[in-house]
Structure 1
Amino acid sequence: MEYQASSTRYATMKYNRCGKSGLKLPAISLGLWHNFGGVDVFENSRAIARRAFDLGITHFDLANNYGPPPGSAEENFGKMMKLDFKPYRDEMIISTKAGHYMWEGPYGEWGSRKHILASLDQSLKRMGLEYVDIFYSHRPDPETPLEETMDALATAVKQGKALYVGISKYKPAEAKKAFKILRDLGTPCLIHQPSYSMFNRSIEEEGLLDLLEDEGVGSIVFSPLAQGLLTDRYLKEIPADSRAAKPSIFLKESDITPEKLSKIRQLNELAKERGQSLAQMALAWVLRKGRVTSALIGASKVSQIEDNAAALNNLEFSEEELNKIDQILNS
């Protein structure tokens, strides 16, 4: 049956201006880092993407190496574009990235002009697209001059293969240099993608959020639910189908200490008092004060998308609630 997007898809989603640009992003964006690869059930991935779009989530975030296997998330998204989303391309923000290991040999990763532009061409081919809306340098390269990497991003825009450029996982000092280089090239940086959650507040401590505000650059944060820790999945035990129960380089069973579990349970009680799930409160927390443009979520089932999007029903925190969260986290 042919997909037709919901006629009410823009009714409840909140859209935030990305830095000082003309672009607005949904407060909740969908990341295809997990659950959209060749090892996953395509029809489930497709159902998640369709439901996300029906809820006003217009931004789909990919990278060359997402899978597994690497490249397969882009291939699957390309199928979804062809089957479902082609009529809606101009309503969508699609991003991809280059920089992590993707193919063999000296040009298969990092930040050389060769890797960045070859990777983008491969990504566009896999997704069946003429351009992406946002193209990122996925990580800083300690051995390639920053000017070369940023010039490659600017070239992608000049070639018409990307509309905007961004950076991910750059520390404040590197980010500040990158912003200046891109400005001088006439292709200002649209957005920075760092990790941020209640359990990982380094972007506050290092001053990255302050820098982004000063520079007029937007932010989209990944892992706002701390790889699933800030959900109700781990309140009692580690479910057999959870990320922590599987072989993973990201979240291990050993990460879920009794001390962390105690904090998660206390946060869950506070979320209940707010009339939210723990995941909803965690998303509302990263979006508080309007300092973050968008929170990037992953999902393995449609119900998770629905629960996460409903976080927008209550984004306000009292000073007392924020203090209580700090007390729990610092205890």
Structure 2
Amino acid sequence: MQTKYWVVPDFDNIFKPSDAPVKKLKESLDRMGLDFVDIYMVHGHIHPQSIKTVAKGMAECVEQGLAKAIAVANYSTDDMIKFAEELEKYNVPLCANQVEYHPLRRYPETSGLLAACKERGIVMQSYSSLAQGRLTGKYTKDNPPPKSHRFSSIPMEEVEPMLEVLRSIGEKHGVPISAVSLNYNMSKGVCPVVGVRHEKMAEENSKAYGWRLTEDEIREIEKHSFEGNKTSLWQQN
């Protein structure tokens, strides 16, 4: 079980900065009817507290047995390292950094974040691993995704060359486009997080397991990949 520490400025985060992570986790555990979570994750580096203060509060969650491990999301390389160093003062390792990563947003790799994670034994998780449906074959230039699908909002006419490559690779391996997309992340050493709304999606996504893309296939995908964007507040990574 993994849950996140919601970091937007509010009474607890501003006036009880070091106590807020514990307080909010206890509230979450009460709502879920659990005694602890496996991973408690800082939702993003937009918290009003300093990294030092948040790390202290998150480490306290481990010390109280409320969480087994601590992670962050949307942290840049420098901030991730700072957070890990603060946690180390309490003998708590940083287990993961969750960022948006896929062939349409390779910035966490090109920026050096992925290499930094591997060097320090930190798992890089990817959210929006299928680019909100853009890497499944569901959408085309004539059937674009809803405007509410804001992550990696690259025009579909620019994405379609990538989809053709993914489709070709999928046909060779006997798997759907979504499985190729997820396998790309896995082949890079990234743990993809993906939403599932019905049984068919689960079946298609599960076909990413049991095989790996070849180096040639990865290079072919990356001929049509995108570095993607970042923002100063949310997607710093």
Q: Distance in 2 between matches of 1:248 and 1:214?
A: 36
CA-atom RMSD in angstroms: 2.4
Q: How does 1:46-65 map to 2 (within 5 A)?
A: none
Given the two structures, how large is their TM-score scaled by the length of structure 1? 0.62
The partner residue of 1:268 within 155, 167, 175 is 167
Letter in 2 for 1:137: V
Instruction: Give 3-state SS (helix, strand or coil) of 2:196's partner.
Output: coil
Structure 1 residues 319, 133: closer, same or farther in 2, change over 3 A?
closer
Any idea what the Cα deviations from partners look like across 1:127-184, whole Å, max 9, x if unmatched? 1001111111111136421110000100001111111111111000000111111111
User: Post-superposition shift, 1:251?
Assistant: 5.2
Contact 2:140–2:157 at 8 Å: present in 1 too?
no
Alignment CA distance shift 1:115-1:172 (3 Å): same
- Aligned partner of 1:250 in structure 2 is 150
User: What is the distance in 2 between the residues matched to 1:249 and 1:311?
Assistant: 23
Q: Which stretch shows the higher mean deviation, 192-201 or 263-272?
A: 263-272
Which of residues 154, 157, 179 is equivalent to 1:280? 179
Cα-to-partner distance string for 1:267-294 (whole Å, 9 max, x where unaligned): 32332233221100011110115x22x2
CA–CA distance in structure 2, aligned partners of residues 235 and 314 of structure 1: 27
TM-score by length of 2: 0.85
1:46 matched to which residue of 2?
A: none
**Aligned residue number for residue 193 of structure 2:** 296
1:165 is paired with a residue of what secondary structure? strand
Deviation at 1:308, TM superposition (A): 0.6
SS of match in other structure, 1:299: coil
Q: Unaligned 5+ residue runs, structure 1?
A: 1-93
- Change over 3 Å in CA distance of 1:187–1:249 after alignment to 2: same
Residue ranges of structure 2 left out of the alignment (5+ in a row):
227-237
1:228 alignment partner AA: G
Deviations 1:85-128 (A, max 9, x none): xxxxxxxxx01111344xx943368x933432222111101110
Give the corresponding residue for 1:41.
Answer: none
Can you list the C-alpha shifts for 1:217-268, whole angstroms capped at 9, x where unaligned?
22221111111110021147438xxxx33x626359x743322234323432
Aligned residues: 225
Q: Distance in 2 between matches of 1:297 and 1:314?
A: 18
Q: State the distance in 2 between where 1:236 and 1:205 align.
A: 27
Q: Specify the alignment match of 1:322 in structure 2.
A: 218
Query: Is contact 1:235–1:265 with CA below 8 Å preserved after alignment?
Result: no
Give me the identity figure in percent: 24
Deviation at 1:202, TM superposition (A): 1.0
Match of 2:2 in 1: 95
Aligned equivalent of 1:88: none
